[in-house]
Structure 1
């Protein structure tokens, strides 16, 4: 599950009809039909942005690489976070709800979350990274990745561990003290795995000192990988038993 290419209009992060249809794994006509059938519930400026005229012409230039907008299109609807929620409610499928949660956390609200974390909680790429991005692992299969993510997040919060999704070039994730950073623009399942991996390091190697330069670094990383796999599988099984 990859993040959609970012579209921002009037300072608001939105999704095109094609993007939201692809994310929810439905046809575009179903999104159009949802809008038509529930028109009274959709409020312009809250659930969608309507573009015409010169505004539409300007936006079309930036949408060329995202979706093909017919040259004769005179009206374009772009969906906000709340609009995506209404479409998820209308479709009411497990996939739509899972993807909606993912979009909220990693697409719509990324910009909002940046200033909320105090400067002292910034995770800075330094010599404290538990493992470079070159690490190659097989991501465990997940039937309920959103459920797993929420439980890992609850575990982190219980330990006062701060999680931040941010741009950390050259790294998939990193751990420093009680702060975990996971690189954004990764598949959601990869984000979940990296979070489990760093939490495993946090719990298992809390007293191992500088594990980066340790002669046992490879063993430490393999232990974290196995522990992450175990946490993910255990939570996935729990999700299926609900």
Structure 2
């Protein structure tokens, strides 16, 4: 799963019906039927926005263009609250898990944090001047959303904040108790980078500057192995639930 490209209407982040179906792992006709059957529960302007005419033409010619709207004469676009009602209608584990993820990393992700001041204890995995980490194979995950939710819970328990944002020149950064993961990556890559930075946080919390440390390669290898172990254990736990 990949974070959707941002689509905004009237300053509100929204999703198309097709995106809702794909993200929630549901049939498109089922999502449409659920809306028609429960239409009295959906409020225009709160749960969805209807676009047509000039507004729709603007979307079709803007950088926010969504292919599924190409031939549409009008369209319903779903807000965060609308995405919640669709999750309620489907009522599947995947729909609920994906909804939680969208709230944190799509609908509410536009608030930019102030730039973090440099500190001596900064422990980034990469900087602009640092060579990129060696290409790694992302561990196979059958339940990546479950794995990610548990990694988030672990981070929250330790007072670590996690944001998906622009991270020029690197795929993830750890600064003190803050982790930033580059946006527009495959969801499984976001999960891996989160586990990788958490591993650095727990294993190398007192090692100072890892970039210029003569043992930097060994530290990165340790974090990679720990990330793989965390992901595999959580994925196995997810499968045992079912």
* TM-score, normalised with respect to structure 1: 0.86
Deviation string 1:164-197 (CA, Å, 9 cap, x unpaired) is: 2211121111112222211122122211111111
Q: Deviation at 1:90? A: 1.7
Q: 1:171 is matched with which residue?
A: 170
Q: 2:38 is matched with which residue?
A: 38
CA distance in 2, matches of 1:42, 1:226: 47
Deviation string 1:44-85 (CA, Å, 9 cap, x unpaired) is: 0111001233333323323884214354x4331111111112
Q: 2:125 is matched with which residue?
A: 130
CA distance in 1, matches of 2:174, 2:216: 14
CA distance in 1, matches of 2:204, 2:163: 21
Aligned Cα root-mean-square deviation (Å): 2.5
The secondary structure found in structure 2 opposite 1:137 is coil
The alpha-carbon distance between structure 1 residues 78 and 125, as it changes in their structure 2 partners (threshold 3 A), is: farther
Q: 1:237 is matched with which residue?
A: 236
Answer yes or no: is the 8 Å Cα contact 2:123–2:208 preserved in 1.
Answer: no
CA distance in 1, matches of 2:14, 2:7: 6
CA distance in 2, matches of 1:19, 1:166: 21
User: Is 1:19–2:19 an aligned residue pair?
Assistant: yes
CA distance in 1, matches of 2:56, 2:119: 40
Q: Which runs of 5+ in 2 are unaligned?
A: none
Q: Deviation at 1:128? A: 4.4
Q: 2:80 is matched with which residue?
A: 81
The secondary structure found in structure 1 opposite 2:170 is coil
CA distance in 2, matches of 1:49, 1:237: 40
CA distance in 1, matches of 2:208, 2:188: 29
Q: Deviation at 1:222? A: 0.6
Q: Which runs of 5+ in 1 are unaligned?
A: none
CA distance in 1, matches of 2:26, 2:118: 40
Q: Deviation at 1:159? A: 2.2
CA distance in 1, matches of 2:155, 2:212: 26
Q: 1:60 is matched with which residue?
A: 60
CA distance in 1, matches of 2:119, 2:61: 36
